[in-house]
Structure 1
Amino acid sequence: MIVSLIYIVCIRFDIGPRSLHYYITRSTPLPFEEIGGIKLGTILDEAAPIHGQTQIKDETDSFVYYEYDSGVEVAALKSTKEIVRIRIEGQDNQTTGKGIALGAGLREVKKRYGKNYYKRSEQGADIIGYIDKRKKTTLEFWLYENKVTLIRYDVKTMN
């Protein structure tokens, strides 16, 4: 019964898996979160002195996706160039605000960020995510064999 009700609500209000987790997971304050020194809300050009020039990777009606010379990928609003997503993967050596880098273990992530996380799967990866409901942001760690292979930090409105 409860599962059916949740399913109906999700369909009716177009709530996807990430959005549903947003409502049922306890908030984790992420007041100083960043990846590689870039914070959400930073204007695209402000990160250039540290990360180098950008190349456009993709574009939608609302966002432009860029990759800095350093390998950090970001999405920025077309209208303001405000960064709304930060993403690292592969051999990138950047870290989160609490020092988690690619290759870190699941246990270390939980130790630094706490127990209020959600789990989901996408593209064959296990994912744990932390939500700061006050800031309306999510921080996700994509895992393979319990090691971080991708880190994504974005505003709630990104899908």
Structure 2
Amino acid sequence: MKITTVISTIIMLFLIIGCEQETMDFYESTDGIDLSGENIDSISIHSSENDVLNTFGKPMEVEEIEDPKSKYLSYDGVEFGFADDRVMRLFIRRTHENSKIYETAEEIKVGDTKEQVIREYGENYYERVESGLDTLGYFDKDNRINIEFGFNEKEVIAVIIKEIGWKEDH
């Protein structure tokens, strides 16, 4: 496993989780797009925990958080965050060289370029940089979905799809 990939993924987690307010600062100034088709192997925002278990099987890791009450099921290459037994966040990352590769609805995956993301998702995005990591994001204001792509110097290293406004402490 490349150490830079692991470090970049950890940084991405902290940035996206810790920057809810900063992300929402872009909400008013960014036009929305349709993200209603976003799913990972048929699992989307608001799918049930049973749907995830039936589709993906037993998780590699389960983490439960008390405040705010939430649960995380981790699989090779993807993690699902739950509140009240419903998926509120999907996180795609590559944990090792042989990780399963998951794609977004527009067929963007870890390893793709910023240009590919913009070509598939369009020009209605916001950008931010924190701790040297570039992030490009889109909002679906009608369906209350946000997708963010985290980049190292040249390629996608993580993708987060989450319900807008969901507060997490993971």
Q: What interval of TM-score do these two structures reach, taking the shorter chain for normalisation?
A: 0.7 to 0.9
Query: Against the structure 1 CA distance between its residues 16 and 70, is the aligned structure 2 distance closer, same or farther, given a 3 Å change threshold?
Result: same
Report 1:118-129 matches (<5 A): 118-129=126-137
AA partner of residue 50 (structure 1):
T
Aligned to 1:143: 151
* Cα RMSD for the two superposed structures: 1.8
AA partner of residue 84 (structure 1):
M
Give the alignment partner of residue 68 of structure 1, picking from 70, 74, 97. Answer: 74
AA partner of residue 89 (structure 1):
R
Identical pairs, percent = 24
Quote the offset at 1:122 in angstroms.
Answer: 3.5
Count of residues in Structure 1 that have an aligned counterpart in Structure 2: 143
The separation in 2 between residues aligned to 1:124 and 1:53, in whole angstroms, is 35
Check if 1:112 corresponds to 2:120. yes
* Superposition TM-score, scaled by structure 2 size: 0.76
* Superposition TM-score, scaled by structure 1 size: 0.81
* Bigger Rg over Cα: 1
User: What does the per-residue CA deviation read over 1:13-70, in whole Å, with 9 as the maximum and x for residues that have no partner?
Assistant: xx82111111211101112111343200000120223322133234142342323333
Query: Against the structure 1 CA distance between its residues 122 and 94, is the aligned structure 2 distance closer, same or farther, given a 3 Å change threshold?
Result: same
Aligned to 2:11: none
Query: Against the structure 1 CA distance between its residues 112 and 105, is the aligned structure 2 distance closer, same or farther, given a 3 Å change threshold?
Result: same
Higher relative contact order (CA 8 A, sep 6+): 2
Check if 1:43 corresponds to 2:42. no
Structure 1 unaligned segments of length 5 or more: list them. Answer: 1-14
Moved more, 66-75 or 103-112: 66-75
Quote the offset at 1:120 in angstroms.
Answer: 1.0
Give the alignment partner of residue 81 of structure 1, picking from 71, 85, 89. Answer: 85
Q: Is the 8 A contact 1:102 1:148 kept in 2?
A: yes
Aligned to 1:56: 62
